Amino acid sequence: MNVNPRLRTAQKRRTRKAIVDAAIALLARGETPTVNDVATAADVSRRTVYLYFPSFDQLLLDATIGALSQASVDQAIDQVSHDGEARVEHLVRALHHVSPEVERLGRSLIRLTVDANAAPIGEGVPRRGYRRIEWIESALSPWRDRLEPERWNKIVRALAMVIGWEALIVQRDVCGLSAAAGEELSVWAAKALLNAALQEASLATTPTRKKHRDQA
């Protein structure tokens, strides 16, 4: 029986999220979980945990960052209900307003996941950043019906390049920007990408609309 590749990818993402969420829940209870604890809580095997997280330290870092940032970012996005651009701006600013400790954890997580020898889990399944993708998709949700799937995926991935740890590190370490200047740069870049995507979508639909008017 052949399984649709998209369904397989979605299942892998759900499994990864279940593992991280289980670790977050254990940490929130003040526990120091083991691999067995996380596997049991997520209803997966030890082997599955290590398939998604070759290093248990990577999982604990990911879970800790999630526990420290999830609520504040969700709240920032939900402050605006229908304005996609404003929701994205709130997301950008929330991800920049992190404590030095969270930034240190983010840098450590990147260091653990850039190992060239790390085996990929599968096509479409990231080594890190799935939480960022979910946040971006949530922020963009008012525009979901305005963009066809290909353009939707394109803008989500483009925003992932200018939002998050990698962008923050480039701003700090490569460009020498202050935290405030880096935040404004990310907001500008995100808005520029959004405007480009919406303009591209509008131009693509204009000929179709004109054809319908001519045929009416």
Question: What are the tokens at 191?
Answer: 């808005």
Neighbour count for residue 209 (Cβ, 10 Å): 10
Q: By the 8 A CB rule, do 62 and 47 touch?
A: no
pLDDT at 127 over 60: yes
d(CA 159, CA 151): 12
The pTM of this model reads 0.72
pLDDT of residue 108: 80
User: What six digits make up the tokens of 105?
Assistant: 């954890």
66-112: pLDDT as tens digits: 777 878 888 888 888 788 899 999 999 998 888 787 888 888 878 77
pLDDT beyond 50 at 210 = no
Which of 191 and 124 is assigned the larger pLDDT?
191
Q: Is the pLDDT of residue 115 over 70?
A: no
User: Which element (helix H / strand E) includes 116?
Assistant: none
Q: How much of the chain, in percent, has pLDDT values that exceed 70? A: 83
Check residue 126 and give its pLDDT. Answer: 62
Rounded Cα distance between 18 and 42, Å, is 6
Q: Which domains does the chain have, with CATH numbers?
A: 5-215 (1.10.357)
